[in-house]
Amino acid sequence: MKTKTAFIFDLDGVIVDTAKYHFIAWQRLAKKLDINFTEKENEQLKGVSRVKSLEKILSWGNKTISEELFQQLMDEKNQDYLNLISKMDEKEILPGVKQFLTALQDNNHPIALGSASKNAKTILKAVNLLEVFDAIVDGNHVEKGKPDPEVFLKACAQLNTEPTNAIVFEDSIAGIQAANAGGMLSVGIGQKEVLHEADHCFENLTQFDYDFFQNIISQTKN
């Protein structure tokens, strides 16, 4: 008997739109450091850990700071972000997500979250999706950030599935590269010209239904 295909989702920009809150918090921090930070720079931080994100911002501004201040700024950014997301509810779930997750549950597919966020469980609980996921691997459980495939490989391990039997949904270049490096099928959620390395790409989760993936699954298992 063949095992069911596993579905692994990034959080920010795929399940919920918390990317906007990250942008606000990073922009406030950058302004404090007198570093210009626009949506263009923010695009490069999607799917990237908090440490790597701050390192990038400092490099853009040619700034060098002490380890103590570095940690302080990371903590300040995270607290600002937590304050922003504290009022989240189910209205923050992106279009098509609930319907697709329900279809996967109805068809008994293993579902996992693979996110760089260290606040993933807090967010999922706030939007009432925590119980949907059979496994949650976030920034608290990995040592290497995307584009390293560690987060997705650990999700596969928790679901007891082979990477070649998993489909990953990502909105970031680093996330798509991580899925590809791990040998999984990658689905980009966003602009095709940005996520051109993905095996498939859609603007959002309303653009297809479960039948689309049933077709992909049947092709890959023949």
Q: Are 81 and 119 in a shared domain?
A: no
Q: Which one of 35, 68, 85 terminates a domain?
A: 85
The closest of 158, 147, 141, 139 to 22, measured between CA atoms, is 139
**What's the whole-model pTM score?**
0.82
Of all helices (H) and strands (E), which one includes residue 77? helix 67-85
Distance CA 14, CA 87 (A): 19
Supply the pLDDT for residue 75: 95
- In the residue annotation, 12 being an active-site residue is answered as yes
Domain membership of residue 1 (yes or no) is no
Q: Are 54 and 118 in a shared domain?
A: no
Spatial contact of 89 and 130, defined as CB atoms under 8 Å apart: no
Q: What is the pLDDT along the chain (222 residues), one digit of tens a residue?
A: 357 999 999 998 999 988 789 899 999 999 999 999 999 999 888 778 889 999 999 999 999 999 999 999 999 999 999 899 888 999 999 999 999 999 999 999 999 999 988 889 999 999 999 999 999 999 899 999 899 999 999 999 999 999 999 999 999 999 999 999 999 999 999 999 999 999 999 999 999 888 889 888 887 644
Domain membership of residue 32 (yes or no) is yes
- CATH number of the structural domain spanning residue 68: 1.10.150.240
Expressed as residue numbers, the domain containing 136 is 6-16+93-220
Sign of CA dihedral 166, 172, 173, 174: negative
Distance CA 186, CA 178 (A): 9
Domain membership of residue 29 (yes or no) is yes
- In the residue annotation, 10 being an active-site residue is answered as yes
Q: Output the six-digit token pair for 210.
A: 């479960």
Q: Are 107 and 185 in a shared domain?
A: yes
Q: Which one of 64, 85, 106 terminates a domain?
A: 85
Q: Are 108 and 121 in a shared domain?
A: yes
Number of domains in the chain: 2
pLDDT tens digits, one per residue of 92-127:
999 999 999 999 999 999 999 999 888 899 999 999
* Terminal Cα-to-Cα distance of the chain (whole angstroms): 14
Q: Are 118 and 201 in a shared domain?
A: yes
